[in-house]
Structures are given as C-alpha cells and as structure tokens.
C-alpha cells in the first residue's frame, strides 16, 4: 500500500514535514510512504489553463494522488487558513468534478504550528475543502501546538501524547484503506 504525504509548508525544515516523516514511521511494515515535492511549482488555478494536457506539474500532482492508496496532509496555519500553495494544489486536484483523483480517497489531515493553537483552523478548512472534493476524510484531529517543544533536533516526536495521537491517526488511515480494499 502507498501513502502520499503532502506538506503545506514549503520550508524544507518545517515542523509539518517532520510530522509527516514521523507519521511514515508509524505505517505498518511493507507500506510505502512518498513525500510529494514541488508544491511551489504548481501554477495558480485558472480554469482557462485546465485543459488536456494539463500543465506538467499539475499532471504530476494528479498522477501522484491517483496512484496513492491514501493521503496524509500536514499543514501550518497562515492567517487562520491553510497556505495558499496547498489550497491551490487541492483546487487543481479537485478537477474534473466529481470524477477527480481525490474522489473517495482516504485522507487524514494533521498540523503543527509554533503557536498555541496547532493549526486547528487550517485543518478544519482543509477538511471542509476535501469533503467538498469527494475525498473520504478521517475526522480525527491532531493539532500540534508549540511545535519547537515537540520535536527533537533530528525531527523525532519527543512528546509521547503527540506520538500516540499521530500513531492513532495513521492507524485510522490504514483502517480506511483496508476497508476500501475489501
């Protein structure tokens, strides 16, 4: 089975990237995890450019999502919302509606921030967007607040409560994939 991780932060050393890599270590043996790269290379959504063939970066995004058995998205929060590049990517992935690469795809959303709210609003917005696209969104939440205190310098989750919650969400995602495969 193949899980695609999408990081809403474009910063290479972001806490959300660390959160995705920690989640990958929670997957069952034999499961594959891929971290999507190039979110910043996707052009702004423009229906006039949503033609066949789609721009190359959009085709790569759609193909990566379509090839995945599930998605795990980690997002920071910018001005009480998910980052624009992440929302833009989901806008491209949501087309054509309703038969898009997100349709019926199991998705879990988590988020980390340096503030005290743990990207709660950004996660809620992403769940709303993903539900509108037809994705199968895991309802569990994981707001990782004051992320600088949660991760080691090597990017490992040091907070046992966060580690357990992350493992539980990965478990729910795995169960959702298994249910769809049955």
Position 79 scores a pLDDT of: 92
Q: How many domains does the chain have?
A: 1
Reported pTM: 0.96
Alpha helix positions (H), the chain: 15-24, 56-67, 84-93, 120-133, 160-181
Residues 122 and 135: their CA atoms lie apart, in Å, by 17
What six digits make up the tokens of 171?
A: 């478990």
In which domain, by residue range, is 63 found? 2-181
User: What would the mean pLDDT of 47-70 be, rounded to a whole number?
Assistant: 96
Residue 119's CATH number: 3.40.50.360
> Are the C-beta atoms of residues 68 and 3 closer than 8 Å to each other?
yes
> Are the C-beta atoms of residues 46 and 84 closer than 8 Å to each other?
no
Task: Please report which confidence band the pLDDT of residue 168 belongs to, taking 50, 70 and 90 as the band edges.
Answer: very high
Q: Which of 134, 174, 126, 180 is nearest to 166 (CA)?
A: 174
Dump pLDDT digits (tens) for 84-130: 999 999 999 999 988 999 999 999 999 999 999 999 999 999 999 99
- Where residue 38 falls (left for φ over 0; alpha for ψ -120 to 50; beta otherwise) is left
Q: Which of 137, 116, 114 is nearest to 19 (CA)?
A: 114
Q: Residues 7, 8, 12, 14: is their CA dihedral positive or negative?
A: negative
Position 180 scores a pLDDT of: 73
Dump pLDDT digits (tens) for 22-34: 999 999 999 999 9
Q: Which of 2, 76, 80, 88 is nearest to 38 (CA)?
A: 88
End-to-end CA distance of the chain: 13
Position 182 scores a pLDDT of: 64
Dump pLDDT digits (tens) for 125-166: 999 999 999 999 999 999 999 999 999 988 999 999 999 999
What percent helix, strand, coil does the chain show, rounded to 5?
40, 15, 40
Residues 176 and 121: their CA atoms lie apart, in Å, by 24
């Amino acid at each position: 089975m193949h899980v695609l991780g999408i990081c809403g932060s474009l910063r290479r050393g972001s806490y959300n990237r660390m959160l995705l890599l920690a989640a990958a270590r929670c997957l069952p043996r034999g499961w594959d995890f891929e971290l999507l790269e190039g979110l910043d290379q996707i052009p702004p959504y423009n229906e006039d450019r949503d033609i066949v063939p789609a721009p190359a970066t959009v085709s790569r995004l759609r193909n990566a999502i379509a090839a995945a058995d599930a998605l795990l998205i980690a997002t920071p929060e910018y001005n009480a919302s998910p980052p624009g590049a992440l929302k833009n990517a989901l806008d491209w992935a949501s087309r054509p509606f309703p038969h898009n690469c997100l349709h019926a795809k199991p998705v879990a959303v988590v988020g980390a921030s340096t503030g005290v709210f743990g990207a709660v609003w950004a996660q809620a917005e992403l769940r709303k967007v993903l539900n509108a696209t037809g994705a199968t969104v895991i309802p569990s939440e994981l707001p990782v607040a004051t992320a600088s205190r949660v991760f080691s310098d090597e990017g490992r989750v040091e907070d046992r409560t966060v580690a357990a919650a992350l493992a539980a969400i990965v478990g729910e995602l795995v169960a959702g994939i298994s249910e769809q495969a049955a």
